[in-house]
């Protein structure tokens, strides 16, 4: 990835810096915004770096880069990045996200991962507006070897969730993963539908859903930030899954999501394979951001 390692190197070379001055911080802020970090987060990060540079007497690009890396690691480590599962009884995980972000494949990959850890997993296909989503989920559940609760296309998503909750209780399931529709055309309809699904889950099993995960496509950059804002307001999101990181040299959007909305990244997707979903590692992700690679943007 190497986003920030190359960024500091390029700024230093382009400006021919021997000493750090105000133009360095202005250029850094601009480059961070271009790297999908988000304007608010970029300004806050640079202001913190400016303050620390003055306090510590940092006067070289290398020293500032080291300080900035520590700052980024601390930001990424904030929040609860582990999936919160009930030690006894059922955990319901509700998945949100617009169409095309990799939500369905993420559910299949997580189902496979949880099953391999000894959990009894059930999946509910509550995105009933797209027959393709239901069929795709069935294929992934087949690969993972877990059961799927599905109705016909156009069925009431609430009835799917109700049946899935009943099945989860009767079969003594540990984790129920619920797919939901990814339509953003009408925000109020989306919010009402998600609230309805939550009410059904809470009524059938008080205290659940334990996790509400928003799936975002890393390649959409700033658009992912606006989606995070909307879904957090609509559905009480507890964490984020960031997909398609294998297709981008960026990943700066993680910082904006964490800093502006307090949403920790729980998982990252690095490919199409069933094993390509990884629990988020703040230190490892920070290290990747600061690697200096050849020819990376």
- State how far the Cα of 267 lies from the Cα of 272, in Å rounded to an integer: 14
Chunked mean pLDDT (size 10), the chain, 297 residues: 64 65 88 87 94 91 87 88 93 92 93 96 93 91 95 93 98 96 70 89 96 91 84 86 73 86 90 84 82 46
Classified as helix, coil or strand, 154 is coil
pLDDT score at 247 = 56
DSSP H/E element including 139: helix 131-144
The pLDDT assigned to 17 comes to 58
User: What pLDDT score was predicted for residue 275?
Assistant: 79
Q: What is the pLDDT of residue 292?
A: 46
pTM: predicted TM-score of the whole model, two decimal places:
0.89
Number of H helices, E strands in the chain: 11, 8
- Which residues are CB-contacts of 247 (< 8 A; sequence separation ≥ 6)? 218, 219
Delineate the domains of the chain, giving CATH numbers in brackets: 3-77 (1.20.120.140), 91-279 (3.40.50.300)
10 Å Cβ neighbour count for 171? 11
Both tokens assigned to 85: 């599962």
Give the DSSP letter string of 208-263: --SEEEEEEEGGGTHHHHHHHHHHHHHH---EEEEE-GGG-S--THHHHHHHHH--
Strand partners, 240: 214, 265
Looking up tokens 């070379």, which residue turns up?
A: 13
| C-alpha 260 chain-centroid distance | 14
| Per-residue pLDDT, 294 | 40
Q: How far apart are CA 275 and CA 144, in angstroms?
A: 10
CB-based contacts of 116, cutoff 8 Å, min separation 6: none
pLDDT for position 23: 86
């Amino acid at each position: 990835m190497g986003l920030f390692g190359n960024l500091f190197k390029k700024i230093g070379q382009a400006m021919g810096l021997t000493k750090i001055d105000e133009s360095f911080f202005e250029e850094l802020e601009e480059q961070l915004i271009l790297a999908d970090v988000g304007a608010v987060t970029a300004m806050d990060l640079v202001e913190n770096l400016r303050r620390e540079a003055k306090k510590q007497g940092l006067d070289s690009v290398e020293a500032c880069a080291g300080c900035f890396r520590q700052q980024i690691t601390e930001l990424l480590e904030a929040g609860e990045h582990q999936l919160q599962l009930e030690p006894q009884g059922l955990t319901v995980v509700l998945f949100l996200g617009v169409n095309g972000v990799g939500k369905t494949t993420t559910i299949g990959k997580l189902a496979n991962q949880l099953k391999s850890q000894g959990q009894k997993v059930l999946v509910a296909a509550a995105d009933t507006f797209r027959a393709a989503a239901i069929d795709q989920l069935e294929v992934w559940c087949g690969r993972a070897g877990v059961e799927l609760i599905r109705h016909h296309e156009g069925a009431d998503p609430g009835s799917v969730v109700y049946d899935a909750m009943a099945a989860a209780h009767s079969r003594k399931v540990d984790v129920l993963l619920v797919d939901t529709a990814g339509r953003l055309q009408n925000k109020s309809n989306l919010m009402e539908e998600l609230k309805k699904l939550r009410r059904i889950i809470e009524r059938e099993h008080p205290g659940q859903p334990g996790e509400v995960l928003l799936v975002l496509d890393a390649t959409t950059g700033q658009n992912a930030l606006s989606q995070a804002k909307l879904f957090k307001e609509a559905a009480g999101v507890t964490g984020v899954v960031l997909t398609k990181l294998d297709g981008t040299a960026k990943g700066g959007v993680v910082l904006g999501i964490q800093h502006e909305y307090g949403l920790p990244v729980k998982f990252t997707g690095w490919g199409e394979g069933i094993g390509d979903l990884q629990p988020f590692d703040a230190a490892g992700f920070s290290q990747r951001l600061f690697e200096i690679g050849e020819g990376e943007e």
